[in-house]
Structures are given as C-alpha cells and as structure tokens.
Structure 1
Amino acid sequence: MADDHDEEGPAQYSSPPCFMHELDQEFRAPLSDWTDVRRWRKAERERLIAARLAVSADARTVMSQRIAEGLDAIVGKIAGRMVSLYWPFRGEPDLRPWMASINARGGRTALPVVVEKGQPLIFRAYVPGDRLEKGVWNIPIPAEGDPVLPDIVISPIVGIDPGNYRLGYGGGFFDRTLAAMPFKPLIIGVGYGLQRIATIYPQPHDIPMDRIVTEA
C-alpha cells in the first residue's frame, strides 16, 4: 500500500479500504465521533438482545448454572462479603438461585436501585423473600432499606469486547455508580458467549470489568 501522505500522487490500494469488512469479518471501521458511536451502540444493543432472547429458556437456564459455577470459582470464600446482583431482564442470566446460595453460606446480597435519571444507582440489601416493588422498566427492587456498599458487583452485559468493556442498556447508570463509589469493588460482568463482540468503541467514561464470566 502506498503512503497516504504521498504528495506526488494519489495513494494506491490493493483493494478499496471501504470494502475491508468484506475481506475481514472482524474489521470495524473507526467511528468519528460520539454521535456515530451512540448510533452504532443502539443498533448493536438491539441485535445482541434479540440474539439472547432467541436462545431457548431451557438453554439459558443451563448456561446460567454454568455462569454461577464460574462465579464461585472466581469469588471463592463468600462469608461476610456483600455481593450486588440484579433481577434478570430480557433473557439475562438468571442468578437468583446463586443469590440464595450466597446467603446460605454466610454472605450478604443486594440489588441496584435507580434513584433518578442521570444519577448513580444505590444498592439496597436484599434476601430472597424480602418485599419487592416495581422500579424502572418494571424491574423488581427492594421496597425499603438503607443504602449499602457491595464488595463485589455482578453486572449483566449486553455486549463485551476483548478489553472487558461492557455494552449496557445506554442509561449510563453503571459507570456513574462505579465512579461515585468511595472504594472500587470487584466488578464481574456476566453474559453468554454469543455476546462477545470485537469492540464497543470505548469512550473516556466507560469503565472496564475486572473479570468476565460466560457459560464457557
């Protein structure tokens, strides 16, 4: 390939650069600004959620069990530690049985709560059986309780790239919350192998996961 900056004549390419995606399926053309990134993320988010929902409920149950086993291997001794999980939404891994096992082994669990748009989440302690109410998107949240600070945050992913950058639902709650916490918890992203992608085009505000656990 000739030098793009050659002043003596136009650059010569063995193939037009705009067709690189046809030669390499992993090729991703750089996006020029945040508007382009947001547009791409919206389309990719919809594609990945549809792919996740296309997996049968039985298969998702099996994969969720494998993810729970992987979490046990990473977390190790759980007694005395506070773990924030989530209520499964739109085909996300269902870790509620693992949540119950944490409490049975002397750990504590919490769920995230949206307080206000554009603001960090808070975490409220939750034990299976506690009273719940509907939160944003009708996702159940603990009906009462003071905020707590988890030692471990389990976050569902929509997509994940090789740098452990997470594609979420686009509200920005997760990154705001981690940035506002007085200490850094262990952050573990959970999802299915089909949600791995080449890049999310990470921005300065994006915070990578410490670890990723899938059914694999």
Structure 2
Amino acid sequence: MTSAADEKARLRSERLDARDALPTETRIEASLVMAEHGDAGLAIEHGTIVSGFSPIRSEADIRPLMTCLKRRGARLCLPVILDRQTIVFRELVPGAPLISMGFGTVGPGPDAEVLDPDVMLVPLAAFDADGQRIGYGGGYYDRAIAQLHKKGLFPRLVGIAFDCQEVASVPAEPHDVRLHAVLTESGWRRFEP
C-alpha cells in the first residue's frame, strides 16, 4: 500500500513536470490572465496585508497581480526563509532592495518590517477540487500557517497554479490545511462555504 507521503511525491513530480512542459509564452500569457481574474475576484480593503511570492522555475508569475493589489491599497509582503524551519513575511515596498533568499528567489532584507498576512497567495505543485494542496515538500508554508493559527490569525489561503496542476485527489494528512481558493488561468475555484 502506498503511503500518503509517497503518493504526494508521485503527484508532485507528475504535476511539476506538466507545469515545466508549458511553453514560456503560455506561462506568461496565463499569468497575465490570472492577474485579471485575481484583481477582479479578490476582495481586499485598503491596508489588507497580502503575501505573494517571487516566482521560481516554471511557477506562475504573480507580480502583475501583486501590482494590481498594491494599486488597490494592499500592503504586500514576501516570504523569507530564516532557517530550515521558519518563514516570515517581510514587507515589500517600492525602492527597497531585494536580496537573494536561496532557492532561486529574492525577498526584502532584514530591515523590512515583518507582517502577518491577511491573505496568502500560496505557490503549490498540485491541488484538487476539495482545496487540498501539495507543496514542494519542505513544509515551510504548512509551518508558517500553523504559526499564524497559534497567534489566532487565520489568513485566507489562495493557491496559485496553472490548470495542468490539478489532480483528482490529494491524500490529506493531519497537518494539511485546506485552501480557501485556487486561482488559475481559468479563473477562481473557491472552496470556502
């Protein structure tokens, strides 16, 4: 019998291969369409703290969406890996330098304010129609979400993916937290009641 972790690893590899196979032009166009869907469908108020991410490898580029949200008054932040266990979210402000964060990504430096997001735009390897996600296997977002929950904070979790990353079913484990929605180039898939 295959364990949940083994099945997740198989699905992760399969869906990342499918994402990697998308031509660069397709990913760029899909990312721009995602920004339009995201801007139109993400309810935020002035001052809402939104965590995004700097795209790596073949991820969707959400920088156009983040620009739209900033224009609408969102405070933006990016994840910063402090050590093998911890992510914090540092504020992204115009003109502030970005530094290498490892893993091929960049983020605000140590002088940037650490924020607790109200909305988290979450990268992922795979997702299903119930809002379960498979990350990249390091557990960073799972731990970051758990830390926010310990503080009594429950941000809206929005997975960011291409349509090709959907799978029939993600085997859920006890530490997994269901997404509220996924945003793809086809639009929104909402899982919240």
Q: 1:207 matched to which residue of 2?
A: 177
Q: Is the 8 A contact 1:100 1:127 kept in 2?
A: no
> Higher Cα Rg: structure 1 or 2?
1
Cα deviation per residue 1:195-214 (whole Å; 9 max; x = unaligned)?
11012211000001001111
Residue 187 (structure 1) aligned to one of 134, 157, 175 = 157
TM-score w.r.t. the length of structure 1 is: 0.78
Counterpart in 1 of 2:74?
107
Cα distance 1:127–1:148, how it changes in 2: closer, same or farther (>3 A)? same
Q: CA deviation at 1:125?
A: 0.2
- 1:116-195 residue pairs with structure 2 within 5 A? 116-119=83-86, 121-144=87-110, 145-181=112-148, 182=151, 183-195=153-165
RMSD: 1.6
CA–CA separation in structure 2 for the residues paired with 1:80 and 1:146? 14
Q: Is the 8 A contact 1:193 1:214 kept in 2?
A: yes
Kindly indicate whether residue 50 of structure 2 is the aligned counterpart of residue 83 of structure 1: yes
- Contact 2:120–2:155 (Cα < 8 Å) also in 1: yes
Question: Which amino acid is the alignment partner of residue 117 of structure 1?
Answer: R
The range that moved more, 195-204 or 72-81, is 72-81
Matched residues, number? 182
Q: TM-score, normalised by structure 2?
A: 0.87
Compute the displacement of 1:163 (Å).
1.4
Structure 1 unpaired stretches of 5+: 1-29
> Which protein is richer in strand relative to its size?
2
Q: Aligned to 1:122, what secondary structure does the other structure show? A: strand
3-state SS, counterpart of residue 94 of structure 1: coil
Cα separation, 2, equivalents of 1:98 and 1:212? 14
Runs (4+) of structure 1 exceeding 3 A deviation are: none
Identify if the C-alpha distance between structure 1 residues 128 and 90 changes in structure 2 by more than 3 Å, giving closer, same or farther: farther
2:41 to 68, 74, 91: 74
Aligned residue identity for 1:202: A
| Residue aligned with 1:83, SS | strand
- Match of 1:126, as an amino acid? L
Consecutive unaligned residues of structure 2, counting only runs of 5 or more, are: 187-193
What amino acid is the match of 1:203?
A: E
- Work out whether residues 111 and 126 of structure 1, in 8 Å CA contact, stay in contact via their aligned partners in 2: yes
One-letter amino acid of the counterpart of residue 114, structure 1: I
For 2:165 and 2:139, the matched residues in 1 are separated by 19
Please say if residues 103 and 127 of structure 1, whose CA atoms lie closer than 8 Å, have aligned partners that are also in contact.
Answer: no
